[in-house]
Structure 1
Amino acid sequence: MDFINQSITDLKQFGKDKHQEYISASPFPSIVIDNFFNEEMLSKVANEFPDLSKLADVKTYDNHNEKKLEAKGERHFSETGRLLAHFLNSQPVLQFLQELTGIKETLLPDPYFVGGGYHEIKPGGLLKVHADFNKHEMTFLDRRINLLVYLNKDWEESYGGNFELWDKDMTRAYKKVLPIFNRIAIFSTTDFSFHGHPDALSCPPDRSRKSLALYYYTNGRPKSELNPKAHATLFVDRAGVKGDTEKEPLTFRDVVVDFVPPILLRTVKKMIR
């Protein structure tokens, strides 16, 4: 099965060609690419995308900061969706991302799709501006790249759902990306790569915002990006928006991560398994 648009004859070279555009993007390294995938293949993924609200074993977020649905792992992937997700975790794509981003450490995929996989936002849903969790909860590897695949055909501007990239001071969105079909967004994840879909979705009741999310990791990261503390999603207020976000409640996992060394956490997890 052909996954990539035939106009991209050499995926690794394509990454090299786009490298300068990626690293020079504001407010942080990122890129948006249209028509990246074979349209027929991606149409199958979109057409087979399930209504996550009607399925078991789906994580539902319904609070001030986020109202969305997230499939756990690949259980609910369609056959074509599974093939695509596995391809996006394969050597050719990892090499493309390595060339695109210029990351020196070896990139590793996440076969568990922790926090990734199928995402769906219904009318009224949102995801406030945030920086992502920085460590994989099972491997403790460093999260470095997000790759988002949008699956929304005939998506109108009035529906909203823009993916927004914000500066460190949260004064403005440098980029607003409409989540249209066969558009991908790739960006480097750090403690200051603030992004989100902060305004409530206004699409018709029979529509939803669908995407496939892939995250990539390394064992270690540059000193300039180091944060000794593993953290969950960090929500931040947009400048001038009163009560934009709410402080997330402290969880048992947060407390444990604060006080238990990573090597001991790994040992405990092995014992539990």
Structure 2
Amino acid sequence: MDRTEIADLIVERIKAEKSRVAQQYAASVGTIGHFVIDDLLPAELAERIYRQFPKPDAMRLKKTLREYKYIAAQMDEHDLLLEEAIYAFQDARVVELIKGICGMNSVYPDVHLYAGGISMMGNQQFLNPHLDNSHDKDRDRWRVLNLLYYVTPDWAEANGGNLELWPQGVGGKPLTIQSRFNRLAVMATHGGSWHSVSPIHANGFRCCVSNYYFSDDPLKEGDSFHVTSFRGRPEQKLRDIVLRADAALRMGIRSLFAKGIKDTTHIYKRKQ
């Protein structure tokens, strides 16, 4: 299936759930707006997408105090179905539906897949609490929505690898959104949208198709530019100190060099 055919299915499913998810987003928008749609695609197609995920050694490993996971954005190196699935979420009809659900004035998908694409997390892997970078790769538009589509069959909540939202900040209690098979999770990104992925304690890999949407304006009045900023989990006191210092250092660099001192490697560099 190509991206338009996949988008046809996504549009149909979103329309069927539009009223419910609009209420879910409206009820949470005061902290971290979010909604979920289960059974997004026919199960056979979702399983096909999962089966086309590359082996770990064909992806980039990120292993630091901040995160431990596999990622890929150079989609022409992998099965075509993965690229078609990613860009189905960038179909104008899908973007317009989600824009309306979230009550936004302007929303743009990201053809460059800046920090998007696919990700895979296995045993002992994690993503610590963090705020996403506030802007796109050129620092022209504000990052406003994170779309996460989970495709690992029979993935149990007890396995870990679940999305965690921290509405009261990292010192509060997280809200867990299970990364269950064939589920789309959409969350707002702004200066208070702390989120994480719980450590995995199971064999196998939790696989995810990721997109970000951007806007002309920030979601929250008073938001300002910030780099991706990590924190320690509540029990990680020393790690929290280190990660705060790391974020402060990188913010200091960006105050001197607006677009950083090196080009990002987490984008889709299309061949001409």
TM-score of the superposition, structure 2-length normalised?
0.82
1:174-195 CA-partner distances (Å, limit 9, x unpaired): 4212212101110110011011
Gaps of 5+ in 2: 260-272
Taking only aligned residues, the RMSD between alpha carbons, in angstroms, comes to 2.8
SS of the residue 1:18 aligns to = helix
Change (3 A) 1:255 1:128: same
For the residues of structure 1 that align with 2:100 and 2:130, how far apart are their CA atoms?
26
Count the aligned residue pairs: 254
What are the superposed Cα offsets for residues 215-239 of structure 1, whole Å, 9 maximum, x if unpaired? 0001222561420x3x321112344
Q: 1:221 aligns with which of 218, 222, 225?
A: 218
Question: After the TM superposition, which residues 131-210 of structure 1 pair with which residues of structure 2 at under 5 Å, given as runs?
Answer: 131-138=131-138, 140-198=140-198, 200-204=199-203, 207-210=204-207
Partner of 1:257 in structure 2? 254
Cα 1:223–1:203 shift into 2, 3 Å: closer
Tell me the percent identity: 21
Q: Which has the higher helix share?
A: 2
Distance in 2 of aligned mates of 1:89 and 1:4: 8
Query: CA 1:209/1:222 → structure 2, altered by over 3 Å: closer, same or farther?
Result: closer
Please state whether the residue corresponding to 1:83 is helix, strand or coil: helix
Structure 1: runs of 5 or more not aligned: 263-273
Q: TM-score, normalised by structure 1?
A: 0.82
Moved more, 118-127 or 240-249: 240-249
The letter of the residue matching 1:233 is T
2:28 is aligned with 1:25: yes
Amino acid at match of 1:18: V
Q: Is the 8 A contact 1:170 1:239 kept in 2?
A: yes
Query: Which residue number in structure 2 is paired with residue 40 of structure 1?
Result: 44
1-structure distance, mates of 2:237, 2:254 = 31
Is 2:47–2:152's contact at 8 Å kept on the other side of the alignment? no
> What is the 5 A alignment of 1:90-101?
90-101=91-102
* Contact 1:12 1:95 (8 Å CA) reproduced: no
Structure 1 counterpart of 2:269: none
Structure 1 residues 61 and 261, CA gap change in structure 2 (3 angstroms): closer
Contact 1:94 1:108 in 2 (8 A): yes
Match of 1:73 in 2: 74
Residue 72 and residue 254 in structure 1: after superposition, are their counterparts in 2 closer, same or farther (change >3 A)?
farther
**Distance in 1 between residues matched to 2:258 and 2:176, nearest whole Å:** 39
SS at structure 2 position matched to 1:173: coil
Asked if the contact 1:22/1:100 (under 8 Å) is kept, the reply is yes
